């Protein structure tokens, strides 16, 4: 009996040890998930309609845009609440669409983004003016993205889309319009894309507005 008892101890201790390990693993995983959930909730900014949002991507075009504008941003959109009372980022991609906020954030590098707001937003943006802005935004839904960065309305690119929403709805210009030649076109990445798209007919005088122009506009302020 004594021999049997002595040899049973390691088995008991081993069982207890394994149970403790399993317990701590489960507890740690639960804690990690809680931390991730809290972090996610903390990162979700309290947007207001009309906010302009910025993020960066890793595509060849994104890299070229950042080099040409000396900016960390390559893409932008505008926040509105949709008919279903949910928040969306209206953005000119292929095609123009409204993207759920969390999905839009996940599309950026490391899910980082910045937000600017019209300085006099409390005076200018109300139910009436926001309705006008949403009307303008919805006009372009499903329209093709403009890889040539032209100023026409048949196709449209991201910063042009946001700029025209404010201009057409409220006669407010977010940032100055520039010409293609005003940007830094010297890098190999920029030169490569321009020659792929334009050949030898590069439209240096075409009106252009970049995400960085909206971000640095004098009539907006950074809120995130």
From 144, 165, 210, select the one nearest 50 (Cα to Cα). 165
User: For residue 21, how many C-alpha atoms fall within 13 Å in the half-sphere facing its CB?
Assistant: 6
- Dist. CA 55–CA 114, nearest whole Å: 7
Q: In the chain, what is the straight-line distance between the N-terminal and C-terminal CA atoms, in Å?
A: 73
Tell me: the pLDDT tens digits for 91-122?
A: 999 999 999 999 999 999 999 999 999 999 99
Q: Report the distance separating Cα 137 and Cα 164, nearest Å.
A: 9
C-alpha–C-alpha distance, residues 130 and 80, integer Å? 8
Task: Give the distance from CA 52 to its chain's centroid.
Answer: 9
Name the residue ranges covered by the structural domains of the chain: 1-43, 52-222
Which pLDDT does position 193 carry in this prediction?
96
pLDDT at 22: 39
Question: What is the Cα–Cα distance from 114 to 223, expressed in whole angstroms?
Answer: 8
With bands split at pLDDT 50, 70 and 90, how would you rate the model's confidence at 174?
very high
Please tell me the predicted confidence (pLDDT) of residue 96. 98
Predicted confidence (pLDDT) per residue in 15-37, tens digit: 444 444 434 334 434 434 433 33
7 falls in which pLDDT band (50, 70, 90)? very low
CB–CB of 216/175 below 8 Å? yes
Question: How does residue 2 score in pLDDT terms, banded at 50, 70 and 90?
Answer: very low
Q: Which fold has domain 52-222?
A: endopeptidase fold (from Nostoc punctiforme) (3.90.1720)
Catalogue the E-assigned strands of 29-162.
52-55, 75-81, 87-91, 97-100, 114-118
């Amino acid at each position: 009996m004594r021999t049997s008892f002595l040899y049973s101890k390691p088995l008991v201790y081993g069982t207890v040890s394994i149970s403790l390990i399993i317990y701590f693993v489960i507890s740690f995983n639960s804690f990690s998930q809680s931390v991730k959930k809290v972090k996610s909730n903390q990162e979700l900014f309290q947007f207001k309609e009309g906010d302009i949002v910025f993020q960066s991507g890793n595509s060849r075009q994104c890299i070229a845009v950042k080099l040409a504008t000396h900016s960390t941003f390559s893409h932008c959109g505008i926040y509105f609440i949709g008919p279903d009372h949910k928040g969306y980022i209206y953005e000119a991609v292929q095609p123009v669409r409204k993207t759920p906020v969390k999905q839009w954030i996940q599309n950026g590098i490391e899910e980082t983004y910045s937000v600017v707001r019209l300085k006099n937003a409390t005076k200018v943006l109300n139910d009436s003016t926001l309705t006008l802005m949403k009307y303008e935004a919805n006009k372009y839904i499903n329209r093709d993205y403009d890889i040539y960065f032209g100023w026409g309305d048949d196709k449209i690119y991201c910063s042009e889309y946001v700029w025209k929403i404010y201009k057409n709805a409220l006669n407010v210009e977010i940032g100055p319009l520039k010409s293609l030649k005003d940007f830094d076109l010297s890098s190999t990445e920029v030169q490569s894309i321009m020659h792929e798209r334009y050949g030898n007919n590069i439209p240096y005088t075409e009106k252009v507005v970049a995400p960085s122009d909206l971000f640095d506009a004098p009539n907006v302020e950074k809120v995130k």
